[in-house]
Structure 1
Amino acid sequence: MRIAFHTPLNLFDDGGVSGDRRMARQLVAALRSLGHEVDPVVAPRGYLPSSDAACLAEREDRAAQLRDDLLRHWRSGASPAPDLWFTYHNYYRAPDLLGPALAAACDIPYVTAEASDAPRRAQGEWAPHTERVRRGLAAGDVHFHFTERDRRGLEPWREPGTALLPLPPFIAFATEPPARAAANTPPRLVTIAMMREGTKQNSYLALARILALIQDEDWRLSIIGDGRQRAAIEQAFATLPAGRVTFLGLLDRDGAMQELAAHDIFVWPGIREAYGLVYLEAQAVGLPIVAFDSGGVADTVDAGRTALLVEEGNEAAFAARLSALLADPARRRRLGDAARRFALTERSPQKAAERLAEGLALALENHRAKRKEAER
């Protein structure tokens, strides 16, 4: 099939570094591995920095013009029209203003991945934006959900003709990632995250407090990442004993993978993480994970087998779990070995492609059924 692939949040090929951009590229590669011709939609970035009504109106006007241009282009025969529309990451700050209308105009299935609904945004200043998202949810033939949290939000739209299918977060590597080196003495902890305001900074600050609870134990921490809040984050860790924490700055992916493999435990609280591809990267080299059971973190690990998850916000319990793992190299090895198998086999692009193939077939079936029903 020819698939139009739309990313309202960020441009598909803008060169930016973020988890959503990486997942978008992985999805396109997985769809192409199935033999489909995937055309990323060339459209301006649709992210809404505020709930300002004028901003939404401007985005809608721009989308309407692009819809008209695309329809004229396809109907003129300049290029073939798509057989299916696939939107990645439709949510209240980046509603899909193109897909539902174009899929209807072309009479083709409409599919989403990582769409989410925010009931608390259905009232107040973000209500119009949430209503646009919900149009897409109602129009869908298949919605792939990455996390249990997203599934719960999508349940009101599950009905005959609209299917909800799990597509667990997955990770792709050009070559097999390095394997964890021999255990270090003292054990080496590592974390990776951008240093920006909001949940990332909150997780860094929580990690600093957690490590302060076990500062009398022997460990070292490496931090990979950079950003606007680096100075504040460095200050938070400055209270720990000298020489315990090393800031490595921003590394490219190969460099980060090599660093991960030189460590023993991946620690990242993950407060309100959507899911976090970095957890899969760390598991892929064979590192056990210690994190909060927050957001979609549980959907990127196998709790108890590859990771130790703690109730969100319980920093004392987090410190206790981490302390126990520091003292148990045999358990670290068991968790790490299971983590590598999990990431490289259960969360591979091949597994994702199988789920995508199932979903696309169901989308075609659902669309045909809706068409027959409409013709009665």
Structure 2
Amino acid sequence: MARVAFYAPMKSPDSSKPSGDREMARNLIAAIRAQGDCVDLASQIRIYDKSGDQDLQQELRHKAQVEAARLISDLPPDTNLWVTYHNYYKAPDLLGPEVSRARGIPYVQLESTRATSRLSGPWADFAHAAHHACDTAQVIFYHTANDLITLERERFSSQSLVELPPFLPVAELPPVSTRDGAMLTVGMMRPGDKLASYTILAETLEHVTGDWTLDVAGDGPARPEVEELMARFGPRVRFLGQLDQNALQALYRQASIFVWPGVNEAYGMVYLEAQASGVPIVAQDRPGVRDVLMRSDHPNVGLGPKALAARIQMYLGDPALRRSEGERARAYIAQRHLISSATEQFWTAVRPLLEEKS
């Protein structure tokens, strides 16, 4: 069995602040451990520059040098693999390349991106560091076809690029939805992309006719703006606040349709959760989102809210279609997006690296 040093430069899996990034890191640790291998969180140091502050980048580089020296000395002696999650120009891995080289162990990355446009400008130093880390990795696992484009173009030497589809941290599907309840939206309420999705959602609902209701699970600093967007629909839109996973699962078990446009979503774990429960999806055809959806014919962004509304109307008027689409979605998740698939994909690519070192 392997002993793995795991590191996430942008946000530790132990962070107290909920986010999709934190949850994916936790899920990846669970997947790597699933065959009995040991995973240690190598470091809690955060390397993240949100605004392109070159002084901050230099300060973080110094902290990373100190931390790397500590890890070279203090990592358990039987550590035989380093894994970094989410190396990119705002959060480069400044530890893994140095520690793995000094300790003579394989180095792999999960969900890394290359941003050649950032190799000049305020993030240039960090962008070059992220590229160096990518070049160092023997295997890079990518989650979406969009990520693969630049990884393939900038591939270093004989480096392996391996698909690892986003996945749910469960071995079995949850109970199937009755698909006869309210429509459902699950999304954080933040300025920027999330608020943009809520704006499209409100514009979409303007075109939906008949007797419908929508449950909205989520909270955040933009909640007043979201509530204002939805005020025109009165009690048909119900705000449920931020819910834990058990409460969300209860919503999936009766939701008729899951609706979320998906503006600039990396992929969206909520799409996987809804489909696992057999809830049909209404979303826009966007990079990242399309990598986790069973159907490939979601409305093009350019078609606007009316196309989303037509899709909603189709499902609202056809319970049999909701059932058949939901069952197809469950089969798709079972085949491609559960933890067992992720574990198999990871170790199939990585075990040979360990065998080469033994």
Q: TM-score range by the shorter chain?
A: over 0.9
Match of 1:262 in 2: 254
Distance in structure 2 (CA, Å) of the matches to 1:211 and 1:118:
36
Match of 2:313 in 1: 323
Match of 2:190 in 1: 196
Q: Match of 1:244, as an amino acid?
A: R
Distance in structure 1 (CA, Å) of the matches to 2:173 and 2:280:
18
Shift of 1:298: 0.9
Q: Match of 1:239, as an amino acid?
A: R
Distance in structure 1 (CA, Å) of the matches to 2:189 and 2:307:
25
Q: From the superposition, tell whether residues 81 and 58 of structure 1 become closer, same or farther in structure 2 (CA, over 3 Å).
A: farther
Q: Secondary structure at the match of 1:272?
A: coil
Unaligned runs of 5+ in 1: 369-376
* Contact 2:173–2:330 (CA under 8 A) maintained in structure 1: no
Match of 1:21 in 2: 22
Q: Match of 1:133, as an amino acid?
A: A
Shift of 1:126: 1.9
* 1:162 and 2:159 correspond: yes
- 1:67-112: CA deviation from partner (whole Å, max 9, x where unpaired): 11111224xxxx3152111000111111111111111111211100
Q: Match of 1:223, as an amino acid?
A: V
1:236 equivalent among 229, 239, 261: 229
Distance in structure 1 (CA, Å) of the matches to 2:301 and 2:97:
37
* Contact 2:280–2:326 (CA under 8 A) maintained in structure 1: yes
Match of 1:299 in 2: 291
Q: Match of 1:45, as an amino acid?
A: R
Q: Secondary structure at the match of 2:224?
A: helix
1:312 equivalent among 294, 301, 325: 301
Shift of 1:2: 1.3
* Contact 1:137–1:157 (CA under 8 A) maintained in structure 2: no
Match of 2:243 in 1: 251
Q: Secondary structure at the match of 2:232?
A: coil
Match of 2:102 in 1: 105
* Contact 1:271–1:312 (CA under 8 A) maintained in structure 2: no
* Contact 2:54–2:123 (CA under 8 A) maintained in structure 1: no
Distance in structure 1 (CA, Å) of the matches to 2:217 and 2:59:
38
Q: From the superposition, tell whether residues 316 and 363 of structure 1 become closer, same or farther in structure 2 (CA, over 3 Å).
A: farther
> What is the number of equivalent residue pairs in this alignment?
355
Of the structure 1 ranges 262-271 and 308-317, higher mean CA displacement relative to structure 2 is found in: 308-317
Shift of 1:361: 2.7
* 1:42 and 2:43 correspond: yes
- 1:218-272: CA deviation from partner (whole Å, max 9, x where unpaired): 21110000000000000001122x2210001111110011012121000000011
- Give the root-mean-square deviation of aligned CA atoms: 1.8
Shift of 1:301: 1.4
Q: Secondary structure at the match of 1:181?
A: coil
TM-score by length of 2: 0.94
Match of 1:219 in 2: 212
1:1-376 mapped onto 2 (5 Å cutoff): 1-74=2-75, 79-80=76-77, 82-173=79-170, 176-181=173-178, 183-184=180-181, 188-214=182-208, 216-240=209-233, 242-304=234-296, 309-313=298-302, 314-364=304-354
* Contact 2:165–2:336 (CA under 8 A) maintained in structure 1: no
Shift of 1:162: 0.5
* Contact 1:142–1:362 (CA under 8 A) maintained in structure 2: no
Distance in structure 2 (CA, Å) of the matches to 1:94 and 1:312:
30
Shift of 1:29: 1.2
Shift of 1:157: 3.6
Percent of matched pairs sharing the same residue: 39
Distance in structure 1 (CA, Å) of the matches to 2:89 and 2:301:
25
Shift of 1:158: 2.9
Distance in structure 1 (CA, Å) of the matches to 2:167 and 2:244:
20
Distance in structure 1 (CA, Å) of the matches to 2:333 and 2:235:
32
Distance in structure 1 (CA, Å) of the matches to 2:274 and 2:111:
22
Shift of 1:340: 1.9
Q: Match of 2:122, as an amino acid?
A: E
* Contact 2:118–2:127 (CA under 8 A) maintained in structure 1: yes
Q: From the superposition, tell whether residues 182 and 135 of structure 1 become closer, same or farther in structure 2 (CA, over 3 Å).
A: closer
Distance in structure 1 (CA, Å) of the matches to 2:293 and 2:124:
34
* Contact 2:294–2:328 (CA under 8 A) maintained in structure 1: no
Unaligned runs of 5+ in 2: none
- 1:2-51: CA deviation from partner (whole Å, max 9, x where unpaired): 11100111012123321121111111111111232111112222221211
